[in-house]
Structure 1
Amino acid sequence: MPKATLGDIEFSVVSKENKNLKVNATEKPVEKGQDISDHVKKKPTILTLDGIIVGENAQINMEQLEKYQQEGEVLTYVGRNILDNVVIESFTEITDSSIANGFKFNMTIKQIRIAESQTVEIQQPVVKRQTKPVTNKGRQQPTETTGIDYIEAETDFIERLKSNNDPVPFLTPEQKAVKNIKEGNYIDVSAIDIYKSISG
């Protein structure tokens, strides 16, 4: 018959296994017809072992069991019962004259639940921004009315009056200056009128 093991440790003898199963049941009233299992929560399984470890590696095995306990190593026990994911909750070494090259032990191992975490990838929503199309109009020159434009407009006004054979009405000083410049009468044009006619 195969010997019982815990992790990498093989026990010489396991004389007793006490399996303890418990649940937590609700103390609140349960409605008639409701599933009772929804109000019962299973507790971790606890196994108590009595056994013996003997041989030239007995001291090494004992130290390894102590290390398992202190570091909380998660182990598998294989014996009359088989339990995965157990840790050593308590360990007692018993030495007496009946065992020359080993020791008796009493151990309690407890099954634990291991939760598995899952990674979920969350897609970021794509936000479309509405933008007006950009039209390249090239380099734009600012619009500015110059004195030359003013003179040309006034000259066109006077020419249209002459073409209709109508008498020239009362002219503003600026229009008069334009007319004098057009007809070559520079003597009658004051400096102010020339400046106004050019600068607009």
Structure 2
Amino acid sequence: MPYIKEVLIDVITDVSPSESSSTTDHALEDGEQISDHVKSDPITLSISGVLYGDVEQKALKLREYREKGVLIAFDYMTNYGNMLIVDFKRDYKVDIKNGAAFTMTLKQVKLVKVAKTVSVKIPVKRQTKKVTSKGKKQIQKKPKAAAKTTKTKYKTPKQLGQANLERSKYLSSPYLKQAGLDISRSNNFGLGPSNLGQAGLGGRR
């Protein structure tokens, strides 16, 4: 008696495998169709039989296989692997005591192998330079920038003559005589417009 995983199938009355192919068709302008691609459809297996004993418990186990997509290898009258239960029906009849008739459809699936990625750790050698002691280093100070010197603006002889003329006018002014200043010594005092202002004579003209 055959098993489907852990479930005992008491009686199998019919096993019908079905194999087919599908084509990709395209219509032409004149109404005819051409096929440019052919693919094989999954093989299906129809099984009929009778279950005896605890039929409900067996039916619940077969439902679990169907819902979880458990792969089944069927080896009775024919041999197919990688089968899934896609349909299961049971029928209680009067002429079957302590049992029920059933029909089941199995469908073959193709499994795709997934390539495994393996990570390889390659040790990397680090190049480290040996540290050698160089002793104490003297810190070199940066030389200070030379101080900027102010250069006296050069005056032309014309500019110097104009300055001396204005100075002689102040020295010969009658206001200096009224103030009792000694004109002959005015060069030592450096009298000019700013000094006259300090002497109280800058305001008079």
RMSD: 3.4
Alpha carbons of structure 1 residues 40 and 134: separation in structure 2 relative to 1, 3 Å:
farther
Aligned residue for 1:47?
Answer: 45
- Runs of 5+ unmatched residues, structure 1: 30-37, 147-200
Distance, in Å, in 2 between the alignment partners of 1:144 and 1:58 is: 102
How far off is 1:53 after superposition? 1.0
1:140 matches 2:137: yes
SS at match of 1:27: strand
Structure 1 position 27, deviation (Å): 3.1
- Matched residue type, 1:49: I
Contact 1:58 1:102 in 2 (8 A): yes
Residue 96 of structure 2 aligns with which residue?
A: 99
- Letter paired with 1:75: I
User: Is the Cα–Cα contact under 8 Å of residues 13 and 53 in structure 1 kept in the other structure?
Assistant: yes
Q: Distance in 2 between matches of 1:39 and 1:128?
A: 56
Amino acid at match of 1:110: K
Between 1:63-72 and 1:9-18, the stretch displaced more is 63-72
Partner of 1:84: 81
Higher fraction of helix: 1
Contact 1:6–1:78 (CA under 8 A) maintained in structure 2:
no
Letter of the 1:51 partner, please give it.
G
Aligned to 1:4: 2
Per the TM alignment, residue 144 of structure 1 is displaced from its structure 2 partner at its CA by 4.1
Decide which of 11, 14, 20 is 1:13's aligned counterpart: 11
**Could you tell me which residue of structure 1 aligns to residue 55 of structure 2?**
58
Q: Aligned to 2:13, what secondary structure does the other structure show?
A: strand
Residue 27 of structure 1 aligns with an amino acid whose one-letter code is: D
SS of the aligned residue for 1:109 comes to strand
Query: What is the TM-score with the length of structure 2 in the denominator?
Result: 0.54
Q: CA deviation at 1:124?
A: 7.4
Q: Counterpart in 1 of 2:155?
A: none
Which structure would you say has the larger Rg?
2
Offset of residue 50 of structure 1: 0.9
Q: 1:113 aligns with which of 110, 113, 121?
A: 110
Deviates more, 1:11-20 or 1:39-48: 39-48
What's 1:22 paired with?
20
Counterparts of 1:117-136 in structure 2, within 5 Å, are 117-121=114-118, 136=133
Partners of 1:145 and 1:67 in 2: CA distance: 89
Using the aligned pairs only, state the percent identity. 25
In 2, Cα distance between the equivalents of 1:134 and 1:28? 78
Pair 1:68–1:122, CA change in 2 (3 A): closer
Aligned equivalents of 1:104 and 1:145: distance in 2? 107
Superposed CA offset, 1:71-94 (max 9, x none): 222222121122212111011111
Q: How many aligned residue pairs are there?
A: 135
Match of 2:152 in 1: none
TM-score w.r.t. the length of structure 1 is 0.55
> Which has the higher relative contact order, 1 or 2, with Cα contacts under 8 A spaced 6 or more apart?
1
